[in-house]
């Protein structure tokens, strides 16, 4: 399949899943009724359901999935390591810590943008830490160990903050921040997160050529005119913007950034630049599919997204480690 063909196919898949996401829900609405309500605004309650409940959910599924796939592909390209994934290396949990702190200190209530900004700060800090502890020369082991340490620390921070909250529900939400969910999100959340995610996405998409050149290592890339310092900054902020905003509204959903690039890499000839847009589309498809699945499997229970992505993702992760172990042996 040609590259354009692949993108077109992924685009079609995303469109299909987006439509399916709009049509799946606990309220059994008729197909025509839903579509008419969504497009024309006729039919009071149905319009509310379609426009205020299902549309934001589908939009967030699309955006969160896209940024997770994209940032996974970008980080892997930069670190030249297929295990680099925002969820696995602690970027998402650090963003969650930032978000939880903003919520529980009341800053987010006083100043709406504080929520995504705090999550962004958490994410940026962890990316800096990761690059410092396990930079491109650090290898897979250093990356995973640094990731485990950062995840554990951020996870403990999230649990601590939520447990200390005066709100009795907060402590029960540790699982949301660890596993992620799109249930009952609204257009408010879309509006809050979308600008950040969009900016982050645009930043990450500019990295293609630099990441291609990095295939040959840093010195070769630099000699080919890549400004490594700038590339690193764009990567850090692009990832922090997109993952931070995604986590602030949807919690941490792991493995999307691992599975999607892994599956798509052979289909794009392993070129990091081509992988970026493909992984964004693939991530959107995976998250939309997962979010449809949680609603079909347990319509009334708010099964967490991360549960499904981990079920799909962990075997890939094990497979990758197995393969890398063989290569290193």
Partner 1 sequence: MMLALSNLTVRRGDCPVVDRVTLTVGPGEFVGLIGPNGAGKTTLLRAALGFLAHEGESSLARLTPRERARAVAFLPQAREIAWPVDVETLVALGRAPHLGRAMGVEDRAAVERALQRMGLEGYRARVATALSGGEQARVLIARALAQETPLLLADEPVAGLDPESQIRAMQVFQDLAAEGRAVVASIHDLGLAARHCTRLVLLARGQVVADGPPAAVLTAENMAAVFGVRVFYAETPEGPVVQPLGVTR
Partner 2 sequence: MANPGGRFLRGCVRGSDPLGAGLRTVALCASVAGSALLPARAQADAPARVVSINLCTDQLAMMLAAPGQLVSVSALAVEPQSSSMVEEARGIPQNYGQAEQVFLLRPDLVLAGAFTARATVDLLRRLGVTVVELPPADSLDDVAAHLRLVGAAMGREAEAERLVARYEADLARLRVSAEPAPAAMYYPNGYTTGAGTLADEILRHTGFSNVAVAAGLAGGGILPLERLVMAEPEMVVTSLPYPGASRSEEILVHPALQAVRERAGSAEVTDADWICGTPHVLRAVAGMGEARRGLDAMQLSQAAP
Q: Is 170 exposed, middle or buried (0-12, 13-18, 19+ CB in 10 A)?
A: middle
Min. distance of Cβ 172 from partner 2 in angstroms?
Answer: 7
Residue 26 binds to partner 2 (criterion: CB under 8 A): yes
**Distance from C-alpha of 86 to C-alpha of 230, rounded to nearest angstrom:** 20
The residue among 214, 221, 246 whose CA lies nearest residue 71 is 246
Report the residue from 42, 227, 319, 323 that binds partner 1 according to the rule CB under 8 A. Answer: 227
171 CB neighbour count, 10 Å cutoff: 13
**Distance from C-alpha of 32 to C-alpha of 154, rounded to nearest angstrom:** 46
Min. distance of Cβ 39 from partner 1 in angstroms?
Answer: 37
**Residue with Cβ nearer partner 1 (128 or 223):** 223
Report the residue from 141, 148, 216, 298 that binds partner 1 according to the rule CB under 8 A. Answer: 216
- Name 261's Cβ contacts closer than 8 Å, sequence gap at least 6: 69, 72, 73, 76, 82, 275, 279, 282
**Distance from C-alpha of 186 to C-alpha of 181, rounded to nearest angstrom:** 13
Residue 272 binds to partner 1 (criterion: CB under 8 A): yes
**Residue with Cβ nearer partner 1 (141 or 191):** 141
The residue among 105, 242, 111 whose CA lies nearest residue 162 is 105
Min. distance of Cβ 281 from partner 2 in angstroms?
Answer: 28
Per CB under 8 A, contacts with partner 2 among 29-88 are 29, 44-46, 48-49, 52-54
Site string for partner 2, 150-169 (x = CB under 8 A): ---------------xxxxx
Residue 323 binds to partner 1 (criterion: CB under 8 A): no
Site string for partner 2, 204-233 (x = CB under 8 A): ------------------------------
What the block records as the tokens of 106 is 């009341």
**Distance from C-alpha of 18 to C-alpha of 200, rounded to nearest angstrom:** 22
Per CB under 8 A, contacts with partner 1 among 55-114 are 80
Count the residues of the shown chain that bind partner 1, applying the rule CB under 8 A.
22
Residue reference for tokens 């991530």: 283
**Residue with Cβ nearer partner 2 (44 or 219):** 44
**Distance from C-alpha of 198 to C-alpha of 287, rounded to nearest angstrom:** 17
Stretch that binds partner 1, among 23-31, 240-248, 261-269, 307-315 (CB under 8 A): 261-269
DSSP class per residue in 95-131: HHHHHHHHHHTTHHHHSTTHHHHHHHHHHHHHHHHHH
Stretch that binds partner 2, among 12-20, 79-87, 104-112, 254-262 (CB under 8 A): 104-112
Residue 226 binds to partner 1 (criterion: CB under 8 A): yes
- Name 144's Cβ contacts closer than 8 Å, sequence gap at least 6: 83, 88, 89
Q: Which residues bind partner 1 (CB under 8 A)?
A: 80, 209, 212-217, 219-220, 222-227, 265-266, 269-272
Q: Which residues bind partner 2 (CB under 8 A)?
A: 25-27, 29, 44-46, 48-49, 52-54, 103-104, 106, 108-109, 165-170, 172-173, 176, 183-184, 186-188, 299-302
């Amino acid at each position: 399949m040609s590259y354009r063909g692949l993108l077109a196919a992924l685009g079609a898949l995303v469109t299909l899943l987006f439509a399916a996401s709009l049509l799946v829900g606990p309220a059994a609405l008729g197909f025509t009724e839903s579509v008419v309500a969504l497009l024309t605004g006729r039919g009071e309650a149905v319009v509310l359901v379609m426009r205020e409940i299902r549309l934001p959910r589908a939009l967030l599924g699309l955006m969160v999935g896209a940024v997770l796939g994209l940032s996974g592909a970008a980080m892997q390209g930069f670190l030249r390591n297929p295990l680099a994934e925002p969820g696995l290396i602690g970027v998402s949990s650090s963003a969650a810590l930032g978000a939880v702190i903003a919520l529980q200190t009341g800053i987010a209530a006083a100043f709406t943008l504080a929520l995504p900004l705090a999550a962004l700060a958490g994410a940026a800090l962890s990316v800096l830490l990761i690059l410092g502890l396990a930079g491109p020369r650090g290898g897979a082991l250093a990356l995973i160990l640094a990731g485990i340490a950062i995840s554990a620390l951020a996870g403990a921070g999230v649990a601590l903050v939520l447990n200390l909250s005066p709100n009795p529900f907060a402590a029960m939400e540790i699982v949301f921040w660890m596993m992620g969910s799109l249930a009952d999100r609204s257009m408010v959340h879309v509006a809050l997160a979308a600008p950040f995610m969009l900016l982050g996405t645009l930043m990450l998409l500019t990295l293609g050529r630099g990441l291609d050149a990095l295939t040959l290592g840093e010195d070769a890339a630099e000699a080919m005119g890549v400004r490594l310092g700038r590339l690193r900054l764009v990567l850090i902020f692009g990832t922090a913007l997109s993952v931070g905003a995604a986590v602030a509204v949807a919690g941490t959903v792991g493995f999307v950034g691992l599975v999607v690039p892994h599956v798509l890499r052979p289909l794009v000839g392993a070129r990091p630049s081509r992988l970026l847009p493909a992984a964004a589309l693939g991530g959107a498809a995976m998250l939309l599919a997962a979010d449809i699945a949680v609603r079909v499997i347990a319509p009334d229970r708010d099964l967490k997204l991360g549960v499904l992505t981990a079920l799909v993702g962990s075997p890939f992760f094990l497979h990758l480690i197995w393969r890398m172990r063989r290569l290193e042996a």
